[in-house]
Structure 1
Amino acid sequence: MSLAKVGAVVLDCPDPHALAGFYAGLVGGTVEVEEDWLELKVPGGPVLAFQAAPGYVPPRWPSPDHSQQFHLDLTVEDLDAAEKEVLALGAKPLDAGDRSRTFRVYADPAGHPFCLCAC
């Protein structure tokens, strides 16, 4: 028996509405708003929540001095097609490394790192 279960993954950001819209475009789901707290409810997936953080400073990747703190691994069928879509949504590539790898690293519009991973 577990003591707790994950209720949500919460991302601090300067603009919760914009970041919730980015992730809704990326993974689908429905955004629910409660003042400065937004939740993206994805059927069959975890809740992603977004909260305003005054003075927000994005993590840097890779950087031992500015930890990424956490990142999301998002599985996709086609890395090339998914890459085109996330870039159109406003993601920025963080790693132009080996294109034959099974993952690619990006930053969302608030600077949080995430990976697209081939399933």
Structure 2
Amino acid sequence: MALAELGVVVLDCPDPRALAGFYAEVLGGTVEGEGDWVDLKVPGGQALAFQAAPGFVPPRWPAADHSQQFHLDLVVKDLDAAEKGVLALGARPLDTGDRERTFRVYADPAGHPFCLCAC
């Protein structure tokens, strides 16, 4: 028997509304809320939440002294098309050089690492 149930994954960031908007463009869904806490309701999926973090320092990937803490794996049908899309939305490549792999690593506009993974 489980002791708990996952409620929401929360990403700390300097601008919750802006980062929720980025992920809404990537994943679809509806951005709800204003101020220090914003939710992204993803159709048929787990919601994401974004919380204002004064003095936020983004992780560096890969760097043991500035650990990434966690990252999101986003499954896509076409890595090249998805890459073009996330870069146009403000993501930045972290590890995309090996084009033969089934994943590529990016940072969202607040600096959180995420992967696009071929399905």
TM over 0.5: yes
In structure 2, how many angstroms separate the alpha carbons of the residues matched to 1:96 and 1:9?
25
- 1:97 deviates by 2.5
- 1:110 deviates by 0.1
Matched residue, 1:88: 88
State the SS of the aligned residue for 2:64: coil
In structure 2, how many angstroms separate the alpha carbons of the residues matched to 1:44 and 1:6?
15
State the SS of the aligned residue for 1:17: helix
In structure 1, how many angstroms separate the alpha carbons of the residues matched to 2:45 and 2:70?
18
How many residues are treated as equivalent by the alignment? 119
**Larger deviation, residues 88-97 vs 20-29:** 88-97
Matched residue, 1:31: 31
1:4-41 Cα distance to aligned partner (Å, 9 max, x none): 11110000000111100000000001111053110001
After superposition, where does 1:1-119 map in structure 2 within 5 Å? 1-119=1-119
Whether the aligned pair in 1 keeps the contact of 2:94 and 2:107 (CA below 8 Å) is yes
- 1:3 deviates by 1.2
- 1:92 deviates by 0.2
In structure 2, how many angstroms separate the alpha carbons of the residues matched to 1:96 and 1:28?
24
TM-score (normalizing by structure 1): 0.97
Unaligned runs of 5+ in 1: none
1:73-109 Cα distance to aligned partner (Å, 9 max, x none): 0000000000000000100000133111000000000
Q: Give the 4+ runs in structure 1 shifted more than 6 A.
A: none
State the SS of the aligned residue for 1:24: helix
Identity %: 81
